[in-house]
Amino acid sequence: MGEVVFTANLRRHVACPPARINGGTVRQVLDEVFAANPPLRSYLVDEQGRVRRHVNVYVNDQPVADRIGLSDRVGPDDDVFVFQALSGG
């Protein structure tokens, strides 16, 4: 069983500790996290369930390819990383 991890910057804005995950796709993994932590859903995905522009999701070291359907595969030992895109100057 892998783990879903949220960066410290995200945790500053919404409670989202690391969690053990089950699921074959990124959508299934995030839905499991949202079931346990409903306030997190609106921060990470929009009303249609698409990843918000300011949020990035990786499976291991690869960014998800499907930011709309979140159909990227997640293996039993894969980790999912979620972080807020930052900009500045």
Is residue 5's pLDDT more than 90?
yes
pLDDT given for residue 89 in this prediction: 55
- The Cα 23–Cα 35 span in angstroms is 13
- The Cα 60–Cα 39 span in angstroms is 25
Q: Is the pTM of this model over 0.75?
A: yes
Higher pLDDT, 23 or 63: 63
- The Cα 56–Cα 44 span in angstroms is 9
Is residue 72's pLDDT more than 70?
yes
- The Cα 88–Cα 30 span in angstroms is 28
Is residue 87's pLDDT more than 70?
no
